[in-house]
Structure 1
Amino acid sequence: MPIWFTRYVMDIFQRGIFSTVTFMIVMFLGVITTHNKYTRKLMSIRGEMSIIGCFAALCHNVAFGIRYFVEFFTNASKMNVYTKTATIISLILIAMMIPLMITSFKCVRKKMKAKNWKNLQKLAYPFFYLIYVHLMVLFMHKPEKHMLSIVLYTVIYMLYTVLRIRKCLITKKRQR
């Protein structure tokens, strides 16, 4: 493959950027209170977008897991604290992501009680925030090198948090 393709296309998938952005879109759609024709269309395929994000995340985990999961389970003492912590978080994320992915398939969702499905899907919130923690752990190894990414992800997650709280307050106000 040409270097430009590897650097600008493959790296987006391998490093987990595509899956993270996909999860961001899915999560931000959940906090939008005013819908237009574009957001309604995206809402109609939100489950499918989540599944795509999960498959991309699994590919990311295979790409890095070949080295880091194997090293973690065979010789964790050689890993630095950042890598070891990020690996543990990755394993937790995978354990959380699998049921979220499976229940995002319409054929599975239809067989579940609505309340059970909704309760399980609430796992998406800690999953989403744990992605941020995973990223920050990796970036803290060399923060000066990753300062732009640290700032961008922090702003995005803070904005999501504000919008999530806002939507929660609006929903509670409507229920009264």
Structure 2
Amino acid sequence: MLSIRAELAIIGCIMMLPHGFIYFIRFLILKLPKIMTEGKFPILYFSYIGIGIIGFIVMIPLFITSIKKVRRKMQGRSWKRLQRWAYLFYLLAYVHILLILLNESKIDWLRLSTYTMIFVGYMILRIFKYKNKQKIGLRVICNTNN
């Protein structure tokens, strides 16, 4: 999977683009005028819309820099630093889905727990990977000092 990771990210972003545009336009044209005339501002609704917009904005540079021609023009360190924003995107996507599920009249506990297990499992594995890299880095430093 590592060899096609960039391609999978590009495909995922292409699939997310219509979602972001359609729901943003739907929000501006259909929902916002209705909310303004009724005077009711559902906090949960605005929260998941806002988080979705922020996540979409974070996704755009990740998408662009996943393209090989763009990636080759960047320095490796700056590309890697930018790609770390993907973790923020994953968090925002999880919170966005969480708020959507909590905004429903009847909470689907199976979907909520499934998304939570996937996100928490991913974060635990990512933390383990980070800690292992730290240990390896310390071993290399200690071995070069001896």
Q: Shorter-chain TM-score: what band?
A: 0.7 to 0.9
Cα distance in 2 for residues equivalent to 1:168 and 1:65:
35
Cα distance in 1 for residues equivalent to 2:51 and 2:124:
24
Q: Is the contact made by 2:55 and 2:89 (CA closer than 8 Å) also made in structure 1? A: yes
Tell me the residue number matched to 1:159. Answer: 121
- Segments of 5+ residues of structure 1 without an aligned counterpart are 1-41
Superposed counterparts of 1:43-122, under 5 Å: 43-71=2-30, 77=36, 80-122=42-84
Larger helix percent: 2
Instruction: State the superposition RMSD in angstroms.
Output: 1.9
Deviation at 1:90, TM superposition (A): 1.4
- Segments of 5+ residues of structure 2 without an aligned counterpart are 139-146
Could you tell me which amino acid in structure 2 is paired with residue 146 of structure 1? D
Normalising by the residue count of structure 2, what TM-score does the alignment of the two structures yield? 0.84
Could you tell me which amino acid in structure 1 is paired with residue 6 of structure 2? G
Deviation at 1:144, TM superposition (A): 3.7
Cα distance in 2 for residues equivalent to 1:129 and 1:64:
19
Normalising by the residue count of structure 1, what TM-score does the alignment of the two structures yield? 0.70
Deviations 1:48-83 (A, max 9, x none): 100110111111123322311435665653553222
Q: Cα gap change, 1:110/1:137 in structure 2, threshold over 3 Å: closer, same or farther? A: same
Could you tell me which amino acid in structure 2 is paired with residue 82 of structure 1? L
Superposed counterparts of 1:12-51, under 5 Å: 42-51=1-10
Cα distance in 1 for residues equivalent to 2:56 and 2:32:
16
**Percent of aligned pairs with the same amino acid:** 36
Cα distance in 2 for residues equivalent to 1:89 and 1:71:
19
